Amino acid sequence: MRNINEDTITQAVLASMSQCADERLRTIMTSLVQHLHSFAREVKLTEDEWFKAIQFLTDVGHITDDKRQEFILLSDTLGLSMLVTSQNNRKPAACTESTVFGPFFVEDAPEYDCGDDIANGAKGESCFVRGRVVGIDGEPVAGALLDVWQSDEDGFYDVQQKGGGGHEHRARGKLRTGADGSFHFRSILAEAYPIPHDGPVGKMLAATGRHPWRPAHLHFMIQAPGYETLITHVFRNGDQYLDSDVVFGVRSTLIGDWIEHAPGVAPDGSWMERPFYTLDYDFVLNRE
């Protein structure tokens, strides 16, 4: 492996991995090396550009912690997350489509009963959400576990807020469907928001002439025995960023209507002194 030059370096790297026992790993690494080397040759990458790229990735790593996942943001904004999601979640046309997971899911969300207010003090106009979870043949999926999360009216998720304590989890929760597959809960109106853009990913967006905004949406992860797990959003119809989502996650089938109502009796029977919203949306799961 002496006297390697720019014409022979690729094959030398590939040959060095010939003893890799993991066939899938060898396949991935072989393709990665080939594409990386082809990219560098195609653009005639300079040493200064290479160093800036290394510094960029270093900065992405430094800003990532248990509250902020800059690498997921990077993957999302380059379209890689949605590409991987799409090619790994092909479903029959009748099923609800998947979209990106996003960086703000947490494992330990509080559990609620149907009808509860999961906002837990999050800022925003009141919204009542209801729907059903069914299988591809229309059968109700009883006991399905729904993880739900969203940002507040200022565009921040609870994990982005300073402080914590008893009110750390806001506009986030788990609940289960009833015997007929139905669910309902109270939260807040979904609003458009910018992804965190005060770090290296934000600098990349600015440098490439892109905005950091996501259209208003509500996250869902739905799990039920015998069915594929569904990770998706419901997007708010009429949002100005539906056609320019910074992470490329919008699908027409995932757009729902948030209906505004005058003050009065809410779906849960409570009296609302201010205008409120309702969202009705059903989910169709694919069988495993």
Banded pLDDT at 163 (limits 50, 70, 90): low
CB neighbours of residue 145 within 10 Å: 16
At which residue do the structure tokens 């009705």 appear? 280
Q: How much is the pLDDT for 1?
A: 72
Banded pLDDT at 165 (limits 50, 70, 90): very low
Six token digits for residue 46: 């300079």
Q: Would the pLDDT of 117 be above 90?
A: yes
> Which residues, at least 6 apart from 194, have a Cβ–Cβ distance to it below 8 Å?
155, 211, 212, 213, 214, 246
- Prediction pTM value: 0.91
Residue 281's closest CA among 177, 95, 113, 132? 132
Six token digits for residue 188: 């807040």
* Domains of the chain by residue range: 1-45, 74-285
Q: How much is the pLDDT for 196?
A: 92
Radius of gyration of the chain (CA): 23
CATH topology assigned to domain 74-285: Protocatechuate 3,4-Dioxygenase, subunit A (2.60.130)
| pLDDT tens track for 181-195 | 999 999 999 999 999
Residue 3's closest CA among 12, 134, 271? 12
| pLDDT tens track for 204-216 | 999 999 999 999 9
